[in-house]
């Protein structure tokens, strides 16, 4: 037998050959890896080159449109009929799909139905009017086109604005010519959600956010995802592994196979069966690795705030939807625990269902600067579109800009993705439908729909477009408010979303803003973004004093709460600010209704009456206040938390940036300082908001019991929101917070003695209900 004649030398030679083959495999695999890296690098360089070519092509198209417009204008005269001008441009642009001409004022667009006209088309014209170049993907009757707009003439005052729809072919051709593999896509939108043109392997599209080059001179980006391996390399890894594996399968048994009898060796020593050889060579058992399905978490691994986006198809079975996140006037939960992307998607679909049932379709979506907001916003938008809503994504903006957009774009519907003033791990949604902010039963209706799966499912998903409205927001306010003198203002945004826009606005109305903590950082590294807590105003007070500023202004995380400190560094309670606002407004609007919440000073009502207004106390909560304003046609409202609502000259929603502008307008018209103006107002001795933490949800049960059991001799009792007791010399309040698991308390007296007596009355009543409360007074 041949096997019986195998010698140790032959076995050694066979082993050496096997080692050489394995070494060759390792070198081959290294070469393949290096080749793949070089190929991917080459594709990225090519992406930059293609982006430059696209930029030149778009610039050429813009130039052709402007030239055609000026030639047509020269042919027709200085004041041509708009249809004739459009036709003249179309003749000169042989490939144009559609050309329209508009007046420079755009009254025919802005005074009409913007939704029917198309927000993307309107945005093109508005940008062109400001001599800002942009492009949009336009869609009409299922046909997609590249939208461009131009001023005619391009220099000086325009006689008209031209809007042209051009074929996408010129851009797609550039992509095809530069395509070397993988996936190429030209996109728009802050989340790259609008596809202008694409070529290649579309299944790679889910990875686009990791590879992008800006197209110079535009807001477009070119995305490229290299293929897993170049076409000519596919399968070579298997070849390199297969050759040594095949030879090894032959050679190893030859080296180990039994009956290998050598000269001078006994049968007992030499006879090694195949079974014994295999047993000797069996390695120690390797640890088992468990493969998890997409979206399944590793043991002990929680979904972390700010972690990378999960797989798009993620829908975890058994994921609990907790009713506790559906609160009195918004939705608020802890990211990764009570609020996940799949829950956000369901909430979006529920909101979309309500929108569609009311005969509406378009929904504005904006988000704050929290780390989790982009992911939750994307999931929410997916749910809205699933219900058949067309979504207008306005990006990362303060919540008031979302409310402004619902008016400016005439949608009436909007969702702000925000955790407001809550800690970084929280996030949530503030919702408007049909011009009303959802609250209480409206919020609970969303929960019911999700639980019962009473949700709309559109046959085709709704549309999606991105619009930047920040300049429109600033222009709208600055066109109405200009201060009579410049004030030096320190602006502390607490690293929330309001910082950049607030400083632009304050400068725009004629004041000198000094930014403090205005960089957006969702971890809130310097202090918590809640100006109602005096601890969070320490940096602002210090800076105002050091720089000799006229005042300091603070915003919460999403820009709907305002905090103010005077030039001396004193904190101004929001109810005293409301006195200033009411006094100013009532001069122009005698008899107007002014609403304030249950946490405000008892002196506010008499001050409103003194200036000829009608005071109304109401429940705390931005959506509840807005609903009451509509009911009573009120001109002004405010909350002790720092929410201010102006209907006069504004839209009636809570907007801390606008309120700051109105305050600066008042101060700049006076020769007195803010400290001096406040000294003229009636004052007592009061506390700020005091907070008593309780386990999640227990604050409501406590207040219900407190309302039943507490007794206050000689006091007028109000239970519209918690329990407020008013005496002739002061008052006290206990209510449940609807945004955090806490009791909220506040007290005021004519003097320190009255304040101490009232606090003592409430301390006795609170501890009678729950003796273990840790009271802060």
Catalytic residues: 332, 420, 643
State the Cα angle at 167 between 201 and 48, rounded to 5°: 50
Of 566, 553, 560, nearest in space to 639 by CA: 560
For strands 464-466 and 390-396, give the pairing: parallel
CA–CA distances in Å: residue 210 to residues 381, 503, 588: 21, 32, 55
Distance, in Å, from the CA atom of 121 to the CA atom of 136, rounded to the nearest integer, reads 8
CA–CA distances in Å: residue 168 to residues 205, 463, 741: 19, 19, 54
* Helices and strands (DSSP H and E) totals, the chain: 23, 30
Q: Is 509 left (phi over 0), alpha (psi -120 to 50) or beta?
A: alpha
Of 306, 555, 331, nearest in space to 424 by CA: 306
Q: Tokens at residue 491, please?
A: 């602006």
Distance, in Å, from the CA atom of 354 to the CA atom of 442, rounded to the nearest integer, reads 10
Phi, psi (deg, nearest 5) at residue 268: -65, -35
Beta-sheet strands, E only, within 542-650: 551-555, 562-566, 571-572, 593-597, 614-618, 636-638, 644-646
Longest CA–CA separation in the chain, Å: 123
Distance, in Å, from the CA atom of 220 to the CA atom of 187, rounded to the nearest integer, reads 6
Q: Is 509 helix (H, G, I), strand (E, B) or coil?
A: coil
Q: Tokens at residue 11, please?
A: 């076995």
CA distance from start to end of the chain? 100
Q: Is 386 helix (H, G, I), strand (E, B) or coil?
A: helix
Q: How deeply is 322 buried, as exposed, middle or buried, from its count of CB atoms within 10 A (0-12, 13-18, 19+)?
A: middle
Distance, in Å, from the CA atom of 708 to the CA atom of 723, rounded to the nearest integer, reads 10
| Contacts of 525 by beta carbon, 8 Å cutoff, 6+ apart | 495
């Amino acid at each position: 037998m041949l096997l019986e004649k195998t010698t140790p030398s032959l076995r050694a030679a066979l082993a050496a050959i096997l080692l050489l083959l394995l070494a060759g495999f390792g070198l081959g695999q290294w070469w393949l890896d290096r080749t793949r890296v070089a190929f991917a690098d080459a594709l990225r360089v090519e992406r930059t080159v293609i982006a430059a070519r696209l930029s030149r092509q778009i610039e050429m198209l813009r130039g052709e449109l402007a030239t055609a417009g000026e030639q047509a204008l020269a042919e027709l005269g200085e004041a041509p009929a708009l249809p004739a001008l459009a036709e003249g441009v179309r003749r000169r642009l042989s490939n144009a799909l559609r050309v329209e001409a508009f007046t420079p004022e755009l009254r025919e667009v802005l005074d009409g139905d913007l939704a029917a006209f198309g927000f993307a088309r309107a945005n093109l014209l508005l940008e062109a009017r400001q001599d800002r170049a942009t492009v949009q993907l336009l869609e009409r009757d299922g046909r997609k086109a590249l939208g461009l707009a131009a001023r005619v003439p391009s220099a000086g005052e325009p006689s008209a604005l031209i809007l042209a729809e051009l074929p996408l072919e010129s851009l797609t051709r550039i992509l095809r010519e530069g395509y070397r593999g993988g996936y190429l896509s030209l996109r728009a939108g802050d989340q790259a959600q609008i596809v202008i043109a694409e070529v290649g392997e579309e299944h790679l599209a889910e990875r686009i956010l990791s590879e992008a080059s800006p197209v110079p001179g535009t807001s477009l980006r070119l995305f490229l995802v290299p293929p897993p391996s170049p076409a000519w390399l596919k399968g070579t890894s298997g070849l390199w592994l297969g050759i040594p594996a095949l030879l090894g399968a032959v050679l190893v048994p030859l080296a180990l196979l039994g009956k290998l009898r050598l000269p001078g060796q006994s049968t007992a020593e030499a006879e090694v069966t195949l079974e014994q050889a295999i047993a000797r060579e069996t390695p120690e058992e390797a640890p088992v690795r468990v493969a998890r399905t997409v979206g399944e978490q590793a043991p002990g691994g929680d979904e972390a705030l700010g972690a990378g986006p999960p797989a798009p198809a993620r829908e975890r079975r058994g994921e609990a939807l907790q009713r506790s996140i559906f609160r009195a006037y918004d939705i608020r939960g802890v990211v990764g625990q009570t609020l996940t992307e799949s829950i956000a998607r369901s909430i979006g679909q529920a909101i979309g269902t309500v929108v569609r049932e009311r005969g509406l379709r378009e929904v504005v979506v904006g988000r704050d600067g929290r780390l989790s907001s982009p992911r939750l916003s994307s999931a929410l938008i997916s749910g809205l579109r699933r219900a058949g809503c067309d979504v207008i994504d306005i990006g990362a903006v303060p919540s008031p800009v979302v409310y402004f957009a619902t008016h400016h774009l005439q949608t009436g519907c909007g969702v702000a993705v925000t955790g407001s003033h809550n800690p970084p791990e929280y996030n949530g949604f503030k919702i408007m439908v049909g011009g009303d902010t959802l609250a209480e039963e409206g919020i609970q209706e969303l929960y019911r729909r999700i639980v019962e799966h009473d949700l709309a499912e559109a046959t085709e998903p709704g549309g999606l477009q991105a619009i930047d409205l920040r300049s429109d927001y600033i222009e709208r306010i600055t066109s109405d408010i200009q201060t009579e003198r410049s004030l030096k203002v320190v602006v502390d945004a607490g690293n929330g979303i309001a910082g950049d826009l607030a400083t632009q606005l304050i400068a725009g109305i004629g004041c000198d803003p000094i930014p403090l903590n205005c960089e957006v950082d969702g971890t809130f590294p310097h202090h918590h973004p809640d100006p109602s807590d005096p601890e969070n105003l320490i940096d602002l007070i210090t800076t105002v004093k050091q720089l000799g500023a006229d005042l300091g202004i603070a915003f919460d995380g999403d820009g709907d709460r305002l905090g103010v400190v005077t030039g001396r560094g004193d904190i101004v309670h929001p109810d005293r600010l409301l006195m200033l606002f009411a006094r100013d407004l009532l001069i122009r609007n005698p008899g107007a209704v002014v609403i304030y919440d249950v946490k405000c000073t008892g002196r506010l009502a008499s001050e409103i009456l003194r200036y000829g207004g009608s005071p109304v106390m109401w429940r705390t909560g931005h959506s509840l206040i807005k609903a009451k304003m509509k009911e009573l046609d009120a001109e002004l409202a405010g909350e002790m938390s720092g929410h201010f609502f102006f209907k006069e000259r504004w839209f009636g929603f809570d907007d801390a940036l606008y309120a700051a502008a109105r305050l600066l307008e008042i101060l700049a018209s006076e020769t007195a300082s803010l400290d001096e103006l406040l000294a003229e107002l009636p004052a007592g001795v009061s506390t700020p908001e005091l907070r008593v933490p309780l386990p999640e949800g227990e604050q409501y049960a406590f207040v219900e019991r407190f309302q039943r059991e507490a007794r206050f001799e000689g006091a007028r009792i109000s239970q519209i929101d918690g329990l407020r007791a008013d005496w002739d010399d002061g008052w006290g309040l206990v209510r449940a917070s609807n945004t955090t698991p806490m009791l909220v308390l506040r007290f005021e007296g004519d003097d320190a003695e009255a304040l101490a007596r009232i606090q003592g009355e409430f301390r006795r009543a609170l501890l009678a209900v729950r003796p273990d409360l840790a009271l802060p007074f």
